[in-house]
Structures are given as structure tokens and as C-alpha cells.
A and B are shown apart, each in its own frame.
Chain A
Amino acid sequence: MKLDINGSVREVDAPPEMPLLWVIRDLLGFTGTKFGCGMAQCGACTVHLDGQPVRACVTPVSTVGTRKVRTIEGLSTDGSHPVQRAWAEADVVQCGYCQSGQIMTTVALLEQKPDPSDSDIDAALSGNICRCGTYVRIREAVHLAARLSRGGAK
């Protein structure tokens, strides 16, 4: 089957029920998207399908169809996306394992709500677990990313 991922169409040979996560990681080699729970509990595997955040670990590859898949590697490779810049500026990461998912969820949130409130952030990001406990700085970075995305100064 064909998969439109990060701007290019790739041919993959996968059983239809194989989760998108493992197609992305093991067959296409995009390892920035992480495996954390396998049951849509932790958000580490968050990717976008036509801009909507989904949990790739419970998304059978056959259901993707022609929708465009975007992973962390599709945001920017140099960290120049406003959300990535905010993450660096706020010094968010610790172990870093969950952060691709946190960032992808945030990108989708800001596309829906360019100026999210704290309760918007709670609602959007409570599906993404961080065991290092970077939540305080994630919250700060989401607000900062909102300002950077709107082209405002810090």
C-alpha cells in the first residue's frame, strides 16, 4: 500500500491491521515517533493525519488511506518550527522520550486554538504522559509557542 508521509509517498508492505506506529518506525525508519503504551494511554506515538493528532499505536495502517501523515521529522529537521523553538527556549526536555508526542499534540492544539488558555492546555495535553515531569515547562512553552506562531515577540 502507499503512505503519504512527511511530504513524500512511500510504498509499504504491511499487514492491514499493523499499527501505523510500527509501520512508521520499523518499516519506514522514522524513529522520532515513540512507543510508550500500545493502547492510546500515553501519547508518545502522536502523529498527525491531515493535521489531526492521532495515536499511531492504535491506528491500523489500513485506515490511513490517502490522508497525509506528519511525524516529528516532518515539522522541521533543524528545530525551526515555532513549537520546537519554544521548547528549546523554555528548556523543556529531560529524557526527551515523550517530547515528540507532546510537540505534535501542541502543534495541533495551536492550529485549533492559536491562543490557548491553561484549561485548553490541560484538555489538549493531558493525554500525553511525561514521567520526567516536564509539565510546568511544557505549559510555559505552549504559551510561548503561541506567541511565536502569531509572530509576536516573546
Chain B
Amino acid sequence: MTLNRRELLRNTVASAAGLVVAFHVPRIARAAGPPAPAIPPLPPANAFLRIGADDSVTVLLAHSEMGQGSWTGLAMMVAEELDCDWSKVRSEHAPAAPVYAHPIFGVQMTGGSSATWSEFDRYRQVGATARDMLVRAAAARWKTSPAGLKVANGVISHGKDQLSFGALAAAAMALTPPKTVKLKDPKEWKLIGTPVRRLDSPVKITGKAQFGIDVQFPGLRTAVVARPPAFGAKLAKFDASAALKVPGVEQVVPTANGVAVVAQHFWAAKLGRAALHVEWTPPEGGGVDTAKQMAEFHDKARTPGTIVVEKGKVEPGLAAAKTKLVSEYEFPYLAHAAMEPLNCAVKIDGDHCEIWTGTQFQGVDQMVAAKILGIAPDKVTIHTMFLGGGFGRRANPTSDFVAEAVIVAKAAGVPVKVVWTREDDMHGGYYRPAYVHRIQAGLDDKGRPVAWDHVVIGQSIVAGTPFEGMMIKHGIDPTSVEGLADSPYLESTGAVRVSLHSPRTAIPVLWWRSVGNTHTSFAMESMIDEAAHAAGQDPLAYRLGLLKEKPRHAAALNLAAEKAGWSTPPAAGRARGLAVHESFGSIVAHCAEVSVDQGRIRVHAVTSAVDCGLAVNPLSVEAQVQGSIAYGLSAALYGKLTLVGGAVQESNFHDYPVVRMFDMPKVSVHLIPSKAKMGGIGEPATAPIAPAVANAVFALTKQRLRTLPLKLA
């Protein structure tokens, strides 16, 4: 079966306009699921699958491979139902087209730890549909009934007769697709649920994998862009004469708020940019200063904001409590700092535009590019390249790095690849926003929370984006309070008030692996730990006491603690800390074991228990947990951007350090067999690592660290 682009576009309703729906699904809505049509139509198999005459099976991915393993996982779903030969399976990124829209979020994108659970039905149906057509084609060839045929490993058998999928592909494609298919009973699965090695390893260990930055073709120029030195600064004027004298520099063109130097290769473009003379108008009001902003946040956190959750009377509850704890937690802006700096190649040819980039947001990028060029979205072809990390930065509602490259290519009149330096990438904005949480907790005579007043302050990620109308309800951006508004610890607390301040600033912010959970998990799991110690109770026993109605949380905590040896003391000079958090439909508990070496926090071991429902590929789940721990640990130990006059002070890995090999703890991951609805796994293990480490540091040193990154006094 071959994908015919024109047929594909004809067969799928042109739903590109107005296809944007909120892609952050609040947990409650997610649990309920989207309204299902009475008879859901099967996906058009030929848009998702090609079977070659050589028996190759090519799966087209609606999701981008950015490290999370969809390249393998989605192919496993197809292969399971198709009963093909796994060694013949390969994956490729699908083009940007309405048929590849996210089944839940309605726009072609990768994020929200959703690729596996959201595609589980569609990709299995694709495999089952193709299998049905191949079997019918074989039956017609042998003039027999499909019912008696056997299928295994890409071969269909009828007694002693055998035909491979490749020999039947053309005939199968001519048949009418079935209206319904029966999917396998889980007991029949051969691939799903088993550890399967990655399909993208061979190209990634030989240097053959093509990332966006690797795109080269005759006539393609490279551009480096001078962007404002501070958020809020504006381009005043520039003089290109010195830049144009740099050998290899061909053109200098303005962008929306910057200047692009277009050259024969990156090095010339970079030298050309250094030779540019650019004047900027400084930000109005002087720009954001971190120190001043944090002082304002702490000040504002003393008054309630827009109400998110309110039950009981919190002030009388706090007044009547036996013990009252007050804590403030502080979180800095964070850069995603993916290994591949941002880049995007664009070729404009009449009313058609081709884009090569690593993106999580094809559906949005396509519309943004089309709007800039004044052409229809289907005239914008997107070649999704491998992503050298995403972590949310490559899913931008403004498509900043794509839009800029389109503007440059249009102005230059030649195909251009815009390449960002590491410094550009770190200064380019779209950070995890800075936050402050102020919690007042009242405990009863048994140490249990009876009153909880929680004020959150930090920028909304979706305010000012096209998602604002759909996602912000009653003034609340759900991504600011996810993991807090629905905290299991607050369910049995009588008096609760959670409120939110969402100040607007000139700093562009964005989702950063696990989004709001990065701060809500730290605040909740730290404060619960503080309450446990105030109550003089073991942190595990205390949590279990509060989570009696939450068996999945309790099971994860118990398993992590047991596997870490919680009941026996760690080696001298070490201590352990716990945290559990639910996000993206999955529950993760970490037990971290730490020591302090010359004032430095060392994390030696992390023991994790994970309930993500069905683990389609346990090897991949383990990798995502290991990786999330490293990502979250970078934020716990090092991550911090500092603004002075609206300008980010950090610039590269020397002053924005991240976890390296010597920092990496031993990690053991324990999957909990679970019948729960499938959750995500790309993000959920990220958030709970920082509180687990901070709680361990407290156990060791009696210092309660409430500011990230963690720093001992």
C-alpha cells in the first residue's frame, strides 16, 4: 500500500481551519475522555502504513520523535495487529496534513505525554485494517474464504501455500477497507507489553540520523539572526556594511524584530553577525529584574488571588489548628536547553513553501507559515526531522523559530536555514515561568492537615496565545495549578483555599517538561514532608495515612520505599527522601538517597515506582523515567536563569549547568502492573525528583531548602 498524497488529502476532510482545541486536557476531563461518536470511523490505513513489494512495513508517525520513543512504540501497535515481521518494520515522520491531527487535541502535535495512550486505538486499528485487506487479497488469490487463512510474521498461509505481505500489497490496496475491525485480546499480544529495542538506534549510532540542523541541499544558505538583547527591547536601526564584507556573507535582511545575516555557511553567518552594527531601544520601564520580581511575588503571595479551589472556612480553620506552618517556595525561570539548538530551513517557491525542522507542532507551524506568506495551509509542506530534544520548546503556539525562518527566507529570496547558537537558544525566551508558592497549613492534634491556604503566583503559559480562550476558565490557567488543585493530600482536608495570581511580563514563557507540575509537586511534597516532621512522624507513614483513599499513590510510595530499603537506615552520611506525584495520567514515586560532600548535594541513588497503566514498551518506559530524573535533577541542582534589565545573564552550559555523567545517580525503575487507564510517561517522572531530593537533604542536614535550585546554607 502506498500513500498517495493527493488521495490522502482528498479523503480527509479539510479541517485545518479551526482544528485547534485545548491540548492540555485537565485531569478530570481526561478521565472522562472525549465524547465518542456512535460508530467511530476507522482511520484511513493508507495514510499511516505502506507495505512494499519487498515486504517492508513503513509506519507513518503522526507524532515527532524527540527521544521519547514514539518511533518504536507507535510502530509496535501497528505491527501487533498486522502480524508482520518486526525486522521489516521502519518508521518515518508523516507529512503535515489534517489526517494526522492528534486524536484528542485536534491539531498535529507532540506533547502532553500523550502519544502512546492517545494513539493506542488508532494505530492498532491501522494494523488490523491492513491485515484484513491483506487476508482478503490472499483469499481472492487462492479463491478461498478468508476465515481459513493463517497470518504470522508477514506471511499468509493456506495449507501449504504461502504468500508474503509484499506479494499481496498491491492487490490489498485495491480492496475496499473494512467498516469495522476486531482488535486482539490483550492475551494474544506478542509485542505490546514486551521490551522492544528502538527502531531509530541504527541511524543514531552511525551519525546518519537527520536532524533539522543537518538539512543541506544545493542553494541552501545559512542565516544567523541578531535578536533583541533584552525582552522588551526593539530594533532601532542597523548598519550592515561591515557584515557584508565578511567573506561568505551574501545578504543582511531585517526580521520582525531583528537582523538576519545570510551566508554560505554557519561560520560566515556567525562572523557576519558579530560584525553587524545594531542599535536597540531598551525595554520600557527598564525590563524585568529577577531580584525585584521575586520580592514582588513574595509580597503578592501574602494576599489571595483568583480562587481556584475553596472549601470550608480557611481562616478560622488555621486559627483553630493546633500547629500552624507557613512556608514559601521559590522557582526560577528555566531554559529547556535541548542539545540541538533551534533551527529551521525554509524554501519558498511561488505559492508553495517547504519547511524542514524538528518540531512538536506541525499543525500550528503550518498555519503560522501560511499566514505569513498569504497562502493556504496545504501549500506549506513540513518535513519533520528528528528532534534533538523537545521538552516543550519545539511546541510553541507562536511558532517563533519557524515564523522567523519563513520571514528570513521570504526577505532573502533564497532557501535559508536559520541556525541558533547555544547563546541564542538560551536567550530566546519561552521559559518555564518563575513562580512563588506561599502555603499556610494548619495541623490538628494528630498532625493531620485540617486547613490549607495556598497562594500561587507566576505567569500563565497560555495567556496571550491562541489557546487562551479555550484553556483559561474563570481567570485560571490550569497549567499554573495542575497537580495542586487536584492534590490527593487536600481531598480529606476540611478547609482549603487555593488561589492564583497570574502577572503578565515581557518574558515569553512556555511548557517545560511536565509543565506546572514542576513547581506544584515541589511545593506540595515539600510541605507535606514539613508537616510529617512537625507531627514527629515517619515521612512514609505520614503520607500513607493521608492517602488511604488513593491506593495507586500508596502502592507507588510503598514500592519505591520498599525497593530503596526504607525500613533499614542508609549508610552513614546518607539519608533518603520521598515524593509521589500524579501527572499526565500516571503516578510516580521516587525515593532519593543523598549525601553532602563539601557543601555539595550528591544524589547517589533514585528508586522509582511507576503506575502508568499498561506499559506498551517497558524498555522505553524505563528510559523515560531515567531521563526524566536527569532532567528534573538538572533543575533541582542547577537550573536558574537570572534577568537584569530584561536580559538573561546566563548564556551557555558553563553558567547554566546541567546534570552530567558524574552527577547521575543509580536509577532503578519498578513498574507496577496496572489495569488503570493508560497514562503518559514522557514527563511524569520529572516533577517528583526535586522534592524527593530536598526531603532527603532535610533528613540529612535538618535544612529545609525551599528555593530551587537547591543550595545548602
Interface residues of A (CB under 8 A from B): 15, 18-19, 22, 25-27, 29-39, 41-42, 44, 71-73, 75-79, 84, 87-88, 91-100, 103, 121-123, 125-139
- Given A36-B422, A95-B386, A132 and B67 contact (CB-CB distance below 8 Å): yes
- Given A32-B206, A34-B340, A133-B631, A22 and B267 contact (CB-CB distance below 8 Å): yes
Q: How far is the CA of A128 from the CA of B627 in the complex (A)?
A: 15
With both beta carbons as reference points, the residue of chain A lying nearest to B340 in the complex is identified as A97
Q: How far is the CA of A78 from the CA of B205 in the complex (A)?
A: 9
B197 x A136 contact (CB < 8 A): no
Task: Check if B478 is an interface residue, CB within 8 A of chain A.
Answer: no
A26 x B265 contact (CB < 8 A): yes
A129 x B213 contact (CB < 8 A): no
Q: How far is the CA of A36 from the CA of B198 in the complex (A)?
A: 24
A131 x B265 contact (CB < 8 A): no
A84 x B206 contact (CB < 8 A): yes
Task: Check if B363 is an interface residue, CB within 8 A of chain A.
Answer: no
Q: How many residues of B sit at the interface, in one of the four size bands?
A: 35 or more
- Given A36-B422, A94-B623, A133 and B629 contact (CB-CB distance below 8 Å): yes
A94 x B654 contact (CB < 8 A): no
- Given A97-B339, A135-B664, A88 and B66 contact (CB-CB distance below 8 Å): no
Q: Given contacts A127-B660, A137-B626, could you give 12 more A-B pairs where the C-beta distance is less than 8 Å?
A: A18-B267, A31-B213, A36-B422, A39-B654, A42-B653, A87-B205, A91-B619, A93-B204, A96-B67, A132-B389, A135-B664, A139-B664
Taken residue by residue from 655 to 685, chain B's Cβ proximity to chain A (1 for < 8 Å, 0 otherwise) reads as 0001111101011000000000000000000
A29 cross-chain contacts in B, Cβ below 8 A: 216
B667 cross-chain contacts in A, Cβ below 8 A: 136
B341 cross-chain contacts in A, Cβ below 8 A: 35-36
Nearest 6 A-B pairs (CB), nearest first? A32-B207, A133-B630, A97-B388, A96-B204, A94-B67, A95-B67
A96 cross-chain contacts in B, Cβ below 8 A: 67, 200, 203-204, 209, 386, 388
B118 cross-chain contacts in A, Cβ below 8 A: none
* Closest beta carbon of chain B to A90's beta carbon, Å: 9
Q: How far is the CA of A37 from the CA of B391 in the complex (A)?
A: 18
Q: How far is the CA of A77 from the CA of B209 in the complex (A)?
A: 12
With both beta carbons as reference points, the residue of chain A lying nearest to B202 in the complex is identified as A79
Task: Check if B34 is an interface residue, CB within 8 A of chain A.
Answer: no
* Closest beta carbon of chain B to A58's beta carbon, Å: 12
B626 x A31 contact (CB < 8 A): no
Q: List 13 A-B contacts (CB under 8 A).
A: A15-B247, A25-B266, A31-B214, A72-B206, A75-B206, A95-B338, A96-B203, A99-B204, A126-B662, A131-B389, A132-B630, A134-B623, A135-B659
Q: How far is the CA of A78 from the CA of B423 in the complex (A)?
A: 35
Q: B186-242: which have CB < 8 Å to A? A: 197-198, 200-211, 213-214, 216, 222
* Closest beta carbon of chain B to A93's beta carbon, Å: 4
Which listed residue, A37, A95, A134, touches B66 by the CB 8 Å rule? A95
Q: How far is the CA of A128 from the CA of B386 in the complex (A)?
A: 20
Taken residue by residue from 254 to 277, chain B's Cβ proximity to chain A (1 for < 8 Å, 0 otherwise) reads as 000000000001110000000000
* Closest beta carbon of chain A to B360's beta carbon, Å: 12
A37 cross-chain contacts in B, Cβ below 8 A: 422, 652-653
B67 x A77 contact (CB < 8 A): no
* Closest beta carbon of chain A to B131's beta carbon, Å: 28
Which listed residue, B198, B422, B662, touches A91 by the CB 8 Å rule? B198
A15 cross-chain contacts in B, Cβ below 8 A: 247, 267
B339 x A138 contact (CB < 8 A): no
A36 cross-chain contacts in B, Cβ below 8 A: 339-341, 422
Which listed residue, B203, B213, B627, B629, touches A94 by the CB 8 Å rule? B627
With both beta carbons as reference points, the residue of chain B lying nearest to A22 in the complex is identified as B267
Taken residue by residue from 447 to 471, chain B's Cβ proximity to chain A (1 for < 8 Å, 0 otherwise) reads as 0000000000000000000000000
Q: How far is the CA of A144 from the CA of B337 in the complex (A)?
A: 30
Q: B412-426: which have CB < 8 Å to A? A: 419, 421-423
Q: How far is the CA of A78 from the CA of B208 in the complex (A)?
A: 10
Task: Check if B68 is an interface residue, CB within 8 A of chain A.
Answer: yes
Q: How far is the CA of A83 from the CA of B117 in the complex (A)?
A: 34
B266 x A93 contact (CB < 8 A): no
A100 cross-chain contacts in B, Cβ below 8 A: 207
Task: Check if B69 is an interface residue, CB within 8 A of chain A.
Answer: yes
Task: Check if B387 is an interface residue, CB within 8 A of chain A.
Answer: yes
* Closest beta carbon of chain B to A106's beta carbon, Å: 11
A136 x B67 contact (CB < 8 A): no
Which listed residue, B211, B386, B630, touches A135 by the CB 8 Å rule? B630
B634 cross-chain contacts in A, Cβ below 8 A: 131
A132 cross-chain contacts in B, Cβ below 8 A: 67, 339, 389, 627, 630-631
* Closest beta carbon of chain B to A57's beta carbon, Å: 10
Q: B378-410: which have CB < 8 Å to A? A: 386-391
A77 x B201 contact (CB < 8 A): no
B666 cross-chain contacts in A, Cβ below 8 A: 136
B423 cross-chain contacts in A, Cβ below 8 A: 38
